[in-house]
Each structure stands twice: as C-alpha cells, then as structure tokens.
Chain A
C-alpha cells in the first residue's frame, strides 16, 4: 500500500469499499462473470430490441434450418428463429434464478440463526420442520404444486424457493451454532449485549461470506432448476419460450437436428457459469479466511 491509499480524507468504510473493489477488479474471471451476467440480464430485459424476431414468429420456408445470415442459430421444427427464442427465454431463467433465491434467503436466514443461536426447543422444532421440508425433494414439491395450482413459472419459482430454503436454514443454523461459541460473542454476552444485538451485529455479519457461497450455488442451481421443471412440463408453458421447453422439444429431433438440443443448453450453461464466476469472485473478495 502506498501513502496515497491511506489518504486521511477517506472514511474507513469508503477505504474498505475501495480495497474490495480493487481486489475484485484484480480477478479477471470474476469480472468476466459480472460482464456476462449483466449481459444476460440486459438481454432478457431488452429482448424486444435484441431479438431479431418474436419468439413465436414462424418461417415455414426454413424448417429445421441451419444457421444462416437470416437465422443466426438456425430454426426449429416450426421454423422459429432459435437465437430469438434463446434471447426471450432468458427472461424466465433469470426471473426464476434471482427471485427464488431471494424468497428462500428472506425466510431461511432468520429462521436458521434463531435455531442455531437459541438451540434447545426452537432448534428442535425448526430442525424437524426443515427435515420434513427436505424430505420432499424440490422436484416432488414442484410436481405437487403444479398438480394443485397448475404448472406455471410462478409456481416453479415457489417450488425452487422451497427447495433452496431448507439447505440455507441448515447452513445458517450451523454457522450460528459455531459462531455463538466464538470468544467475541462470549465477550459481547459478558458485556451485557441483548440477543437481537448479538445476532444482528456478531452472528449474521460473520456468516455473510458463507451465505454468499450458498447464494453462489443457489442462483445458478435455481436457473438450472427452472430449466429442469420447464423441460418436464412443470414450469413455463409453451408458447412462452424457455430454455427448458426448447430442450424438451429438441428431444424428438436428436438424430435429425442435434443442434436444437445444443444451443439452449449452452445458454443455460453460460448464464449459470457467469453467476457462479461472479459469486466466486465476490467470495474471494469478501471472505478474509480464503483470501489470506
């Protein structure tokens, strides 16, 4: 560090933010992840501008067509432009990825921290409830939800959120269980700090790196989960485009046009990879234990 970094005008918080930003920018993969993830989000929002055709427009002169100047990635069995459908399909994936994890986090972190911090009966009750939730694998849950409420993206997101939540509860609980034994928490208790203050000031902030790692795994997993559900017909319903639906349609043409099964998968892969890279970079920057 040069003397310029320690310029007295910067507040400690601003200085820390600057250090973190520099650390992040020093990681090329994290920056690439950020750029690609932002590109996917922008592409999804600006789909009407980015996509050359609408997702449902058919071109019967070009059915199962190869890529050409007119159709960048070719056309599917109904002569629909594959590239345009991938751009429109990003909407469902990103919506599902982000919102289902937010739903899960908002619910899981407080619950898990309470369980790990208080132990005793709240822990037992929460742990048993979590076990019951976990006993229903998210796919079975999604199947059940779509049977009761009908298949849709919203119900798929609910199921994905439910699917992610128990895992986050367990992680938050485990962390809280470990953190409450730390010396600084004991010191805070000895100093007379209240439970809420200890949880908010000492327990939750110290588990943020772990939570980021978990969200890292969760957002791309939810994106993939949405694809799985749509693939099985439990998520986005045709004619709305979704990468999972495209893959399901492509299954019938594996011998004639295997490319139809390749492009949507590449899109899912790149999208979840970019979020994974971004999250990894953030973890490296935020978690002092692994960056030392």
Chain B
C-alpha cells in the first residue's frame, strides 16, 4: 500500500510539473507583449525595458520558469496587473468556490447515489422509471439556464432568495446559505444526474454478477446482498465518476459564479483570462492543477481501498 501511494504521489508531482510548464509556455505563446499591458499600453522603449527588467521578462525562459516556481513554492505568485499579490487574491477566493463545490458535490452525491441504488433495486418499477426520467431531464438541462430560471422564479417573482452575490459564513451564516442555496442546487443537480446513471448501471451489473448469485445462494438476506456485495463494488465506479466529474465541476463553478455574481475562484479565472492578466492566469492554473491532482490522488486511494485487485495488479505491473 505504501509503495502504491508513493508511486501515485510521484506521478502526481509529474503532472503538476507538466501543467506548470504548459501554462508557463502557454501564457508566453499568447499574442501581445505583456510588458505593454503591464506598462499601461505605454509604447516608450525605455519604459518597456524597465518593466521587462522589473518583471524579469528580459531573462531566458528557463530562468524565468525556475524563478516563478521557486517563488511559488514560498507562497509568492507575483503581482497581478493591479499590483496586488496574486497568491493573496487566490487564497481569499478559493474558500468561496470550495464551499460552492463541496455543497454541490454533497447535493449531487446524496441525490445521485440514493436515486441510483433505488432505481437498480426496484428495476422496471415506478421508482426506477421516475429516477431514470429525472436523470435524463437533469442531463439534458443546461444548468446555467436552470440558474436563470431559478433567479426569475425565486428572486424576481417570489423574492425568497437573493439573485446573486456572496456573504461569508463567518459574517452571516444564514445569509451565506441563502446566497449559496440556488448555486449549489444548480451545480449539484447536474452532478447527481450523471452519478445516478452510473450508480444504477453499475449496481445492475453487480446484481447480475456471479458473486451476488453466490451470496444469494448462500441464503444471505437481501439487505446483505445489496448493501455489502453489490453496493460496495458499485462504489468503485462511482468514485471514478466523481473523479471524472471534477473537471466539469470546475467548469460548472466558473459559470455558476458568473450567473450568480459570486466573487469566487472561477470568476477570478474568467476575469484573469479576459483581462490577459498573465501572472494571475499562471497562478490560477497552477493552483487548479495542483488541487485537481490532489483530489485525483484521493480518488485513487479510495479506489484501491475499495478494490484490492487494482492495488495488487498495480504493484505487479
């Protein structure tokens, strides 16, 4: 198990390294001279040279990269276009998006897994048809549109919930949840549809498998068969799916934050790109890649805990 973890962590480091190189080179491949943007569209060669020197843009690329990474490891991601520390901005924005993401995953997992298990166990009955139909509707709904509809109904017409904005949990817990309710529902229901379908289909596969037939033949109770044997094996698939949905979750966070005017990490990413804020883009992508890899590592660990076969196959190969 230790060796398995070490190997996975090593691979994760490689991924973060590759992502950092990619974004570093990618940002430099963008059209336009960052020095011009940094100097406030000033074309004076002397000013540009000074700006280049100040930001280290006159150094060779590997040196620039090494400097950037070295500082990043010390928590310094440089200054953005407004001369504010990038790391500080990111650190203040992340908890907002993390709250949104966690609430959404919670909403999605509770709805998705419950509905998936019920649909599989009650296959072909009313419950199955209801859950399957709802999942289909959920998959076909553009969730940002659902967000607009919810604003029309709950904010514009009924005045129940705020149309957008953010209040921190520490300052006003009730207000925080009021502001997060619609965004988390919008993002979470999207996730639940995918989860429900995967959960249902892998439960059905498990329920039809030989070991479940054996468990039934042994005379185990239906609860033990479904809960212990089929459910545990289906969770493997679902863990993977949650891992696979992470990219979609990050994208979902961006659009949800745009619609509900939440000043989170996603909004920051979009703004950084539209404003061509190079240091900010680098910082945002580095943080996203690192976070992504960490979550994936966790998924791998859970995966191997649930399925010893994969762990052993991994150490043999």
Contact = CB atoms under 8 A, between A and B. Distances in A.
B100 to A, nearest CB: 15
A273 B255 contact: no
Given A217-B139, A280-B136, A261 B152 contact: yes
Contact of B19 (A132, A139, A174, A276): A132
Interface in B103-149: 136-137, 139-145, 148-149
A289 B148 contact: no
B261 to A, nearest CB: 11
Contacts of B92: none
Interface residues of A, number: 52
Contact of A143 (B141, B270, B293): B270
A174 B35 CA distance: 47
Main secondary structure of the interface of B (DSSP, over half): helix
Interface stretch (A17-25, A193-201, A251-259): A251-259
A268 interface: yes
B31 A148 contact: yes
Contacts of A235: none
Interface string B303-317: 000000000000001
Given A140-B251, A148-B30, A170 B142 contact: no
A163 B247 contact: yes
Given A131-B296, A137-B248, A147-B273, A231 B139 contact: no
Nearest to A255: B156
Contacts of A147: 30, 273, 276
B95 interface: no
Given A120-B317, A273-B140, A170 B14 contact: no
Main secondary structure of the interface of A (DSSP, over half): helix
Nearest to A259: B152
Contacts, number: 142
A257 to B, nearest CB: 11
A45 interface: no
A107 to B, nearest CB: 17
B206 to A, nearest CB: 12
A220 B139 contact: yes
B250 A140 contact: yes
A252 to B, nearest CB: 12
Nearest to A216: B139
Interface in B211-263: 240, 244, 246-251, 254-255, 258
B194 to A, nearest CB: 7
Task: Give the interface centre of B11, B152, B247, B255 by most chain A CB atoms within 10 Å.
Answer: B247
Q: Which range holds the interface residue count of chain B?
A: 35 or more
Interface in A207-262: 213, 217, 220-221, 224, 227-228, 231-232, 247, 250-251, 254-255, 258, 261-262
Contacts of A119: 317
B144 A228 contact: yes
Contacts of B273: 140, 143-144, 147
B191 to A, nearest CB: 13
A226 to B, nearest CB: 10
Nearest to A171: B244
Nearest to B137: A273
B144 A262 contact: no
Contacts of A148: 26, 29-31
B288 interface: yes
A110 B145 CA distance: 35
B194 A254 contact: no
Contacts of B22: 132
A163 B246 CA distance: 12
A261 B29 contact: no
Contacts of A254: 148, 151-152, 156
Interface of B: 11, 14-15, 18-19, 22, 26, 29-31, 136-137, 139-145, 148-149, 151-152, 156, 194, 197, 201, 204-205, 208, 240, 244, 246-251, 254-255, 258, 269-270, 273-274, 276, 285, 288-289, 292-293, 296, 317
